[in-house]
Structure formats: C-alpha cells, structure tokens
Amino acid sequence: MPSSFRRQAAHLRAAYTRETHPLAAPGIARRGVSTPFLGSGLGLDVCTAPQRRLRALLALGLLNHGPASAWPRHVSLADITRYTLVVSPRHDDLVITARAPYNVACWLVGRDKRPQIGLPGLRVETSYEEGWRLRHLPTGATMTLTGDRHGHLQGPAILDSNYIGLWTTDMPLSDEEYAVLNALPLLGTDTETLLAALAVRLCTHAPDSSWDISMWYYDLTDRPERGHAHHRRLSVENGRCALHWDSAPHPEDLCAALTDPVIGLAGATAQATSDGWLLHYNRSSLTAHPIAYRH
C-alpha cells in the first residue's frame, strides 16, 4: 500500500477520532495485516481476538453506571469519561492519551485498600514517567495509557514501579474479579465486535460537526443537554445488546458513529424504533433506548 495513501488515511481517521496524525498512523499501517480503509472504520475495528475481548469488557464497564447498572457498582468505569482523553485503537494495542493519566489509571486499574477494582484483570506491566503499559491477565491483551498526545511513553521503563499503589502483573486475579468475569453472559465474536466498536468510538465526532459522541459526558454541539445524571445500562443476552442512557450523546449521534460511511463499523445497519433505534451487525444486535431514568 503506498505510503501516501496511508498518510491520507491516517489524517482522515484523525479528523474523526481527535487523534493526532502520529497517534492515528500506527492504527492504519501495520506490516503483514490486511487493513481495510474506507467503509470499515479506518482500522478502528481491526484487531486481535484478545484485543476485541478486552475492548468489549471495557465497553461494559464504561456504559454501566448508576442504580440500573448491569455490572457491580465497584466495577463501573464510567467516571473515566469525565476526563479529556483520546482513544487510539491499534491491531494489538489500545492506546489512551489523557490530560490526567493518573486519574484515568486509578479508575482502570485496582489499587490496594480501595473499593474500586477497575477493569477486572487489568494490571500495570511497566511504569514510565507519566504513563503505563497495562496487561489484561485473562486475555493477555495490552493497553497503553499516557499523557503524551502522540501516544509515546516517556522516560525509562521501571519494571517494578508501583508508586501509586496500582495492582501489577504479579498480583493474580482476586476473588471479586473472578466473580465478575464468571457472571458475564456468553459473548460471541459478533457481540464482542459490536461492544468493542462502542468502546473505540468513545471520542469520535464528524469533521463537519453534524454528530459528536463527546466522551459520553459532555455535549459539544451547542444543542440542549439531555440530562445530568449520566445513568447508563448496557446489558447482553444471547447476542442481543440493550443500551439505555439519559445524557450525552444524542441518540442520533451514537447511531451515526456506528454507521458512518467512513468511520462506522463495516456491515452495521440501523433502523428507527418507537423509542430509539435497532442496530444489526451480523448475528448480533444493539437496541438503543435513550431514555431518562426515574429513581
């Protein structure tokens, strides 16, 4: 593939994902991997099976929050979306750049003597000056969390650093983590792909500002806000996903992000329903109900 085309594809992807060009480029070009471009998300959904599983679990953690959550409250990752960050998916890594990487790390990874256990099984593998290489023990998939906007990990690697008390890879899964993972519904390949697509589009927007996911927390389009409670429920049963939420993003924006001809999930189609929309992806589906909870 000509390098000029890869550069163009990276710039196009960055226009949708808020990545810098150097951050987006590794998600486009990978030697030995056939990476489709237009009409297939510009590499957002092309990944290894362990990465797909990790991203699906991340979506469940991010999109369950509040009294109706389908996950235990101490596993909710929703507060991550309060921070300014960019999600950069690659074939064998998931890079997150954040203005406050320390805060994000403390939600993603469990810590000693804290009720939150983060994403079950996620551990610090290597620490850097302002970033971490994370490893998900159940799948072996990696994540990179850094304060560098281009996705770099600054400074020398410190293999045994645990200066903020984050759990490291030498700590096995806890009983709580086993309980959460064992309680998960069966997730087939299509369902994992659909859930992963939600996770990697956390910060996407249209270059012409016609839609904006806005990190699921703030509306950035000058339209009326949908609510302030930020309650979310993402449940799965037999390949059928159901998503309820009462704040940003606007429902039509989420549908657009998943079906956009450039950045959408290839093969996903959506149709309006009486109280939201229904998206189909191969043998899986997502029913979206953008409603306000009353508790």
- Residue 64: CB atoms within 10 Å: 23
Which has the closest alpha carbon to 246: 194, 295, 212, 200? 295
Which has the closest alpha carbon to 292: 224, 236, 229, 215? 229
Written as six digits, the tokens of 215 are: 């990190």
- 84, 101 Cβ separation under 8 angstroms: no
- Residue 29: CB atoms within 10 Å: 17
β-sheet bridge partners, residue 128: 131
CA angle 233, 235, 239 (to 5 degrees): 150
Cis-peptide, bond into residue 251, ω within 30° of zero: no
Is residue 43 helix, strand or coil? helix
**Secondary structure letter of residue 121 according to DSSP:** T
**Strands ordered across the beta sheet of 232-237:** 232-237, 240-245, 284-289, 276-281, 269-273
Is residue 146 helix, strand or coil? strand
CA angle 161, 116, 53 (to 5 degrees): 80
Q: What is the DSSP annotation of 58-95?
A: HHHHHT-BSTT-SS-GGG--GGGGGS-EEEEEETTEEE
pLDDT tens, per residue, the chain with 295 residues: 457 888 899 999 999 999 999 999 999 855 444 444 444 579 999 999 999 999 999 999 999 998 888 888 788 899 898 899 999 999 999 999 999 999 999 999 998 777 788 999 999 999 998 899 999 999 999 999 999 999 999 888 876 555 578 999 999 999 999 999 999 999 999 999 999 999 999 999 999 999 999 888 776 666 666 666 678 999 999 999 999 998 778 889 999 999 999 999 999 999 998 888 999 999 999 999 887 544 3
Pairing of strands 276-281, 269-273: antiparallel
d(CA 10, CA 85): 18
